[in-house]
Amino acid sequence: MREPKDYDNMVECHYKGAVVYVPSKLFTSMTMNVAYNPKKYVRYSEGAKMYGMSLSSFKELVRDSGALYHPSEKIALINIERLDEYLELFRG
């Protein structure tokens, strides 16, 4: 199996002599029973559930991160990748 180029986001798994590279988010969801969401954009209610916070707290976090997109007047989408990048700034 070819090795992935982006090791930072992959987990090396050994099973019966084989080596498999799994995305870290998928590995976490499988081993810790955490929801894995491969979507790039979500709506407010789905994002609040993903991050385990109230809707109002999530809206404030999204506003501060600059991850909010309005493709039309009636749709608000949150870029999860950009939100995660913002949250990494607070890593202690």
Q: What percentage of the chain exceeds 70 in pLDDT?
A: 88
Residue 92 has pLDDT above 90, yes or no: no
CA distances from 77 to 27, 39, 42, 56 (A): 26, 11, 6, 15
pLDDT tens-digit series, residues 53-70: 999 999 999 999 999 999
Provide the CA 79 distance to its chain's centre, in angstroms.
9
pLDDT value at position 29?
Answer: 74
pLDDT tens-digit series, residues 31-49: 877 666 678 999 999 999 9
H-assigned helices in 1-92: 24-32, 44-51, 55-65, 80-88
